[in-house]
Amino acid sequence: MNASPSAERLLAAIDATWPPAEIRAADGWLLRRGAGGGKRVSAASAGRPGAVPEIDAAVAGLAAWGQGPLFRLSPGEEALDAALEARGLAVVDPTVVHVAPVVSLTDDRDETARVIRASTPIALVEEIWAAGGIGPGRLAVMARAAGPRITLIARIGDRPVGVGFIACDGAVAMLHAVEVLAAARRRGAGEMLLRGAANWAAEQGAEVLALAVTEANAPARALYAKLGMGVAARYHYRAG
């Protein structure tokens, strides 16, 4: 695989590794039922790049699940973006997808005491996620991921201070739900999680490590840039 997969491939990997409760194709749309899992699993998107399906059909489909109007837009969908803007839907959370070859992030240090892997729920991990607003709805998203997956726990000394969730979709490994306790930030936990994620991804045969982050999250983006993770895709939401 090319070190920088297409934006379409990366968005497909996000859907596979951070799956909605239900995804349905209807009237030219892909509709996602989030079940409390956040915007990423609750937004409608055009079923075909560049298409402008009937907006009312998507609004009705989302409403049938008790969800408000929420749409995901990528570059190349300017006509749909303009149509949604004309309906009064505002831009929310411009997001970028950072990627790097797995081999550029792996290291040969002993990670046993630095990044622990967990395949079953751990209360302390859920407490760290809860501190960052990652609650039961997003935990349910992680449980739905069908491919290889693992929870990563970064330690400083003998204290767990950061967590993340990683899953594979073929050659693409996606890191989600990275959260570091406020008191432990800027002490290397984020980099530990990235390198621990790359080491696990390499064992699964993945070639690319990717993650999505809001443009506004400057500290996280600075770390990803420092580690050589370039921007390979962008998207934003419109919500009403």
Which pLDDT score, from 0 to 100, does residue 185 have?
A: 86
Amino acid occupying residue 214? T
140 pLDDT tier (thresholds 50, 70, 90):
very high
Residues 124-145 as b/e (b if ≥16 CB within 10 A, e otherwise) read ebbebbeebebeeebbebbebb
Instruction: Give the residue among 64, 89, 95 at the shortest CA–CA distance from 215.
Output: 95
Which pLDDT score, from 0 to 100, does residue 4 have?
A: 81
Which pLDDT score, from 0 to 100, does residue 116 have?
A: 92
Residues 79 and 45 in one domain: yes
Between the alpha carbon of residue 118 and those of residues 81, 121, 172, the distances in Å are: 40, 7, 20
Q: HSE (CB half, 13 Å, CA atoms) of 216?
A: 4
Residues 20 and 62 in one domain: yes
Mean pLDDT throughout 28-54?
97
Residues 130 and 82 in one domain: no
**Integer Cα distance of 215 and 217 in angstroms:** 6
**Integer Cα distance of 18 and 39 in angstroms:** 11
Residues 179 and 83 in one domain: no
Mean pLDDT throughout 79-83?
98
Residues 103 and 221 in one domain: yes
123 lies in a domain?
Answer: yes
Q: Please say whether the beta carbons of 28 and 49 come within 8 A.
A: no
Residues 172 and 61 in one domain: no
2 lies in a domain?
Answer: no
Last residue of a domain, one of 96, 123, 157: 96
Residues 119 and 204 in one domain: yes
Domains: count for the chain: 2
Residues 38 and 76 in one domain: yes
214 pLDDT tier (thresholds 50, 70, 90):
very high
| pTM, full prediction | 0.93
How do residues 156-189 score in pLDDT, each as one tens digit? 888 899 999 999 999 999 999 999 998 888 888 9
Between the alpha carbon of residue 66 and those of residues 75, 183, 222, the distances in Å are: 28, 37, 37
Between the alpha carbon of residue 169 and those of residues 119, 149, 210, 228, the distances in Å are: 17, 10, 11, 22
Last residue of a domain, one of 96, 115, 131: 96
76 lies in a domain?
Answer: yes
239 lies in a domain?
Answer: no
Residues 160 and 219 in one domain: yes
Question: Which residue range(s) make up the domain with 91?
Answer: 7-96
163 lies in a domain?
Answer: yes
**Integer Cα distance of 109 and 203 in angstroms:** 15
167, two tokens: 């899953």
CATH of the domain at 117: 3.40.630.30
Last residue of a domain, one of 63, 96, 129: 96
197 lies in a domain?
Answer: yes
